[in-house]
Structure 1
Amino acid sequence: MSNVTRLHHALPLSPAINTAVIDLDSSIAKAIDVAKAAGLPQGLVISILHGHAQMQTNIMVS
């Protein structure tokens, strides 16, 4: 994902958080590649990701 710009937090983040973000990003990218290779329609991949993001947003605001 070399064409993605990372946003940096105003305060320095710990190395553990940076590692977790990198691992999360890499895992998501690999899962998307596997799903595409299996023939999942791109719209379904996007809707699944959007659903998870919506659920996490709901958890954060409640």
Structure 2
Amino acid sequence: MSNVTRLRHALPMSSDINAAITALDKAIADAVDAAKEAGLPQGLLVGLLHGHAHAQTHQMVTV
């Protein structure tokens, strides 16, 4: 996902955080590519990603 704008934050982010973001982005992109190659319907892929995003958002606002 080289066309995605980098995150900017009020405070500088550590190199560990930047490395984690890069690794997460690559892992997600690789998993999406593998799912597409396996023939997973795009709607199901989007739904799964949306569900995980929703669950993580819920976890952040309820803790």
Tell me how far apart the structure 2 counterparts of residues 42 and 26 of structure 1 sit (CA, whole Å). Answer: 19
In structure 1, the residue matched to 2:25 is 25
Structure-2-length-normalised TM-score: 0.92
TM norm structure 1: 0.93
RCO comparison, higher one (Cα < 8 Å, 6+): 2
After TM superposition, the runs of 4+ consecutive aligned structure 1 residues lying more than 3 A away are: none
- Structure 1 unaligned regions, length at least 5: none
Q: Percent identity?
A: 63
Residue 39 of structure 1: SS of its match in structure 2?
Answer: coil
Tell me how many residue pairs correspond in the alignment: 62
| Structure 1 position 2, deviation (Å) | 2.2
Q: Give 5+ residue unaligned stretches, structure 2.
A: none
RMSD: 0.8
